[in-house]
């Protein structure tokens, strides 16, 4: 079934899939998401394909190209985002500051606007799913991986299973409920992480081998900490933005449009991405930085 495509290097890997560079029969380059059938139910893969087709006209969501299968795997051919993930993109530049984070968050907010307008909840906003269209300093920010996304016109959706990245889950998710603004909570976690190199909710006594139950307890009971030295030079608009996104009452969180109208995101644009105030650390710089690497861990829970 893959006779019209040639797989090349692996460019990404998760718990349920592997992403390859690929080319078609005339050499056009794409990305291929390979999903082993023993790990992925047909209905879940079909849902991902349906959602990608729904979003095909959006420039802010990774574009669907084709879908195939053989005896062992499903394959989703999609747009190749040459800038890679946020982690790969940031490493290409020596400058990294508040404007860099604002530019990335602004792009994700626009992606969420498009998804939410189509009644799609992403459910897995994290750095590994934020991609850059190319390697330029003003590259488009896009959202990828709709593998656990859901489409519903209901305001609050109840699910039987949680497939999630625990650190980014919203309080209502722990009761098996999802709202569009659950994505806004995850956006707040991502913003906090990119600005400080830390996760706001965690098993603080055992970061290297955390208890999922203690991460969830932290989400329910703790408030984000802005008292460390890393926050001393970060402006109050950024902190206010995070606090709004991390409101434990989902109804009080901003919409994507309200996020885009917040001063943290309006006072710069993509041309300022690597200008202005620099942060005194660089995310993803050290492999032992568990607070940055933790986002790659996908967990499956049946409640």
Quote the pLDDT of residue 16.
85
Instruction: With CA atoms as reference, report the closest residue to 40 among 6, 69, 7.
Output: 69
Q: Residue 218 belongs to a domain with what CATH number?
A: 1.10.510.10
Q: Examine the domain organization and report whether 262 and 183 are in the same domain.
A: yes
pLDDT(73) > 80: yes
Between the two ends of the chain, the Cα-to-Cα distance in Å is 37
The Cα 162–Cα 177 span in angstroms is 10
14 to each of 20, 39, 65, 88, 242, how far by Cα in Å? 12, 11, 21, 16, 27
Q: Examine the domain organization and report whether 60 and 146 are in the same domain.
A: no
In degrees and rounded to multiples of 5, residue 267 shows phi and psi of -85, 0
% of the chain exceeding 90 in pLDDT = 73
The string of pLDDT tens digits covering residues 123-146 is 999 998 999 999 999 999 999 999
Q: Which of 45, 78, 111 is the last residue of a domain?
A: 78
pLDDT(290) > 70: no
Q: Examine the domain organization and report whether 68 and 90 are in the same domain.
A: no
Would you say 161 and 301 are in contact if contact means Cβ atoms under 8 Å apart? yes
Q: Examine the domain organization and report whether 109 and 37 are in the same domain.
A: no
Quote the pLDDT of residue 1.
58
Confidence class for position 24, pLDDT limits 50, 70, 90: very high
Q: Examine the domain organization and report whether 288 and 257 are in the same domain.
A: yes
pLDDT(298) > 60: no
Q: Examine the domain organization and report whether 119 and 237 are in the same domain.
A: yes
Q: How many domains does the chain have?
A: 2
- pTM for the whole thing? 0.91
pLDDT(243) > 70: yes
Q: Examine the domain organization and report whether 22 and 113 are in the same domain.
A: no
Q: Residue 36 belongs to a domain with what CATH number?
A: 3.30.200.20
Instruction: With CA atoms as reference, report the closest residue to 186 among 197, 204, 203, 173.
Output: 173
Q: Examine the domain organization and report whether 147 and 249 are in the same domain.
A: yes
Torsion of CA 136, 148, 105, 204, to 10 degrees: -120
Q: Examine the domain organization and report whether 107 and 65 are in the same domain.
A: no
Q: Examine the domain organization and report whether 177 and 61 are in the same domain.
A: no
Q: Give SS3 for 29.
A: strand
Quote the pLDDT of residue 276.
87
Q: Domain range holding 89?
A: 84-302
DSSP letters spanning 261-299: TSHHHHS--GGGTT-SPBPSS-TT--TT-HHHHGGG--E
């Amino acid at each position: 079934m893959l006779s019209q495509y040639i797989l090349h290097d692996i460019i990404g890997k998760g718990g349920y899939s592997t992403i390859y560079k690929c080319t078609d029969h005339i050499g056009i380059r794409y990305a291929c998401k390979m999903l082993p059938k023993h790990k992925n139910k047909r209905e879940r893969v079909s849902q991902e394909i349906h959602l990608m087709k729904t979003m095909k006209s959006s420039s802010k969501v990774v574009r669907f190209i084709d879908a195939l299968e053989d005896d062992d795997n499903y394959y989703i051919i999609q747009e190749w985002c040459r800038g890679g993930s946020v982690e790969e993109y940031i490493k290409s530049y020596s400058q990294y500051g508040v404007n860099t984070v604002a530019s990335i968050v602004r792009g994700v907010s626009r992606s969420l606007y498009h998804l939410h307008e189509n009644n799609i909840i992403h459910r897995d906003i994290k750095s590994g799913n934020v991609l850059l269209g190319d390697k330029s300093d003003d590259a488009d920010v896009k959202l990828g991986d709709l593998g656990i996304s859901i489409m519903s016109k209901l305001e609050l959706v109840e699910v039987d299973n949680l497939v999630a990245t625990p650190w980014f889950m919203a309080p209502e998710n722990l009761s098996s409920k999802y709202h569009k603004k659950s994505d806004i909570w995850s956006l707040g976690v991502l913003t906090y992480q990119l600005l400080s190199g830390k996760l706001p909710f965690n098993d603080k006594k055992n970061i290297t081998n955390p208890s999922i139950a203690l991460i969830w307890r932290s989400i329910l009971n703790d408030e984000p900490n802005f008292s460390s030295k890393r926050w001393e030079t970060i402006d109050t608009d950024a902190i206010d933005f995070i606090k709004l996104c991390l409101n434990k009452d989902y109804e009080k969180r901003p919409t994507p449009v309200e996020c885009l109208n917040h001063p943290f995101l309006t006072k710069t644009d993509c041309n300022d991405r690597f200008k202005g105030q620099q942060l005194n650390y660089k995310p993803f710089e050290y492999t032992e930085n568990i607070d940055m690497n933790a986002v790659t861990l996908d967990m499956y829970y049946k409640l």
